[in-house]
């Protein structure tokens, strides 16, 4: 069975936690140089135009593994000044027919001091 099918058997937040744990464990085995297709945006230079937006790694815990995937930039967060639990569960909902996910996480994070 493919990893995606296995992950879809789990609740969305559990699947995310399993995937990031696997990323942390396996990243050193698959690390590749970041592809170089430089772009400049608003005076900032990036090694390539493919980045990861905020929301995947809310507390900056998985940066080494994510960096090994070849992204040109990584954005962590969203981060609030103080720790915030977010909304009660369930707060992620899959819409398989649409290939979509409804996110009602509510900015759960460990707070700025912990993330910095």
Domain count of the fold of the chain = 1
- Block means of pLDDT (10 residues each) for the chain, length 116 residues? 88 96 90 88 96 96 91 95 98 95 97 97
Q: What range defines the domain where residue 48 resides?
A: 3-115
Distance set, CA 54 to CA 6, 22, 36, 106, 112 (Å) = 25, 20, 22, 13, 14
Query: Residue 35 carries which DSSP code?
Result: P
pLDDT at 54: 95
Which one-letter DSSP state was computed for residue 38? Answer: -
Q: Is 15 helix (H, G, I), strand (E, B) or coil?
A: helix
């Amino acid at each position: 069975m493919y990893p995606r099918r296995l992950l879809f058997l789990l609740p969305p937040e559990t699947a995310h936690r399993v995937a990031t744990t696997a990323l942390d464990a396996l990243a050193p085995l698959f690390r590749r140089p970041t592809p170089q297709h430089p772009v400049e945006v608003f005076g900032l230079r990036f090694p390539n135009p493919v980045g990861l937006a905020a929301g995947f790694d809310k507390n900056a815990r998985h940066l080494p593994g994510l960096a090994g995937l070849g992204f040109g930039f990584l954005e962590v967060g969203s981060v609030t000044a103080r720790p915030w639990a977010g909304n009660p569960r369930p707060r992620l909902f899959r819409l398989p027919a649409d290939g979509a996910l409804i996110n009602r996480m509510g900015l759960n994070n460990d707070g700025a001091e912990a993330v910095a």
